[in-house]
């Protein structure tokens, strides 16, 4: 087996919109709840840019409900119940990431996930997807005091992997991911293929790299053969 040389000693991914394309299942869950409330169905195109703001973002935009509404939290919980039933129906690794994960495994480069998604849903997805490769570390809001953009989660992941932040790269599709990585001292890659609403703002994030296609990530992680 030919060994490749990696640019980093560890790789960290954001989850939704970076490692996994979860938009189809968020769309299914949202439409289940819309149907329950006799409201018109929505599309994946409308859901995708909302996912970075979690269930609250979907409720605010699709259900046009202010967070101060007395039924906002009840509706959000209803969405999460529907999502838990469908969270692995059509969720998949982004294109080319199976090859990247295989290369990381073959070259003994540890990798992990740093997400603002609660552990309940994160674990359920990994369990149900039956992926060939599982992260060496997964850091969710349940494990820390301050979520991204605070660097705490990134630093915890580096610590658990036994690597220094400066030898690690953090990949994410939201400004908070890049800010967390920069604050932690990692290299950063902005995943422009993810759930980004305004691509014109990408350069303002000050990531070390911007990757437009998920299948091109491997060329930023490993040196050319």
Question: What residues act catalytically?
Answer: 14, 16
For residue 83, give Cα distances in angstroms to 2, 15, 28, 54, 76. Answer: 41, 16, 8, 11, 10
The DSSP secondary-structure symbol of 16 reads: B
Rg value, the chain, Cα: 18
Closest CA to 179 of 215, 153, 144, 159: 153
Rounded CA separation 207/200 (Å)? 14
Rounded CA separation 142/50 (Å)? 22
């Amino acid at each position: 087996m030919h060994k490749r040389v990696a640019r980093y000693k560890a790789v960290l991914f954001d989850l939704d919109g970076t490692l996994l394309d979860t938009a189809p299942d968020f769309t299914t869950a949202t439409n289940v709840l819309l149907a329950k409330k006799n409201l018109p169905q929505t599309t994946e195109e409308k859901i995708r840019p909302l996912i970075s703001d979690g269930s609250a973002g979907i409720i605010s935009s699709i259900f046009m409900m202010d967070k101060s509404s007395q039924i906002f939290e009840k509706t959000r919980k209803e969405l999460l119940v529907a999502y838990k039933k469908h969270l692995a129906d059509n969720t998949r690794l982004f294109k080319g990431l199976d090859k990247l994960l295989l290369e990381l495994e073959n070259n003994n480069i540890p990798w992990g996930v740093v997400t603002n998604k609660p552990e309940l849903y994160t674990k359920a997805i990994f369990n149900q997807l039956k992926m060939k490769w599982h992260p060496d570390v997964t850091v969710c809001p349940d494990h820390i005091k301050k979520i991204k953009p605070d660097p705490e989660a990134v630093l915890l992941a580096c610590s658990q992997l036994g690597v220094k932040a400066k030898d690690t790269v953090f990949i994410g599709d939201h400004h908070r991911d890049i800010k967390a990585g920069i604050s932690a001292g990692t290299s950063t890659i902005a995943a422009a293929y993810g759930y980004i609403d305004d691509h014109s703002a990408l350069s303002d994030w000050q990531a070390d790299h911007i990757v437009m296609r998920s299948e091109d990530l491997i060329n930023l992680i490993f040196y050319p053969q």
